[in-house]
Amino acid sequence: MGEHLMIYIQIARNDNAVGFVTLAKSGPPVLCLPNDIYGVSPEHLELLKRKHIRFKELEANTVRLPRPHDEKIRHLLTAEIQRCQQRRA
């Protein structure tokens, strides 16, 4: 089960452009976060090492993930839930 956990890395600023393109072209999904931070798989790590792209691994509990719903989305979801409840009534 633990083998599918995401690994968080920060690509060196000077390597970020080529690192991003390398990750994007690799196939498997990548989580892109602010500050040159990415959520990757072990396969991505091997690829970056092979291409000599500098990065450091981050502790998962230090990575700040974006909130899944901003205020506009929350408002739309609330309105949709209310519509569904009215249809059921």
For the question of whether the overall pTM of this predicted structure is more than 0.75, the answer is no
Specify the higher pLDDT residue, 5 or 68: 5
Q: Where are the alpha helices (DSSP H) in 3-63?
A: 16-25, 42-50
Report the distance separating Cα 80 and Cα 53, nearest Å: 45
CATH of domain 2-88: 3.30.70
- For residue 61, the model assigns a pLDDT of 86
Q: What is the pLDDT of residue 63?
A: 87
22 and 53 Cβ atoms separated by less than 8 Å: yes
Q: Which two tokens stand for residue 65?
A: 């993930």
Beta-carbon contacts of 50 under 8 Å, excluding residues fewer than 6 positions away, are none
Digit-coded pLDDT (tens) for 35-77: 889 999 999 999 999 999 999 999 988 888 776 655 655 566 6
- The residue type found at 49 is K
Identity of the amino acid at 67: R
The pLDDT of residue 2 is: 46
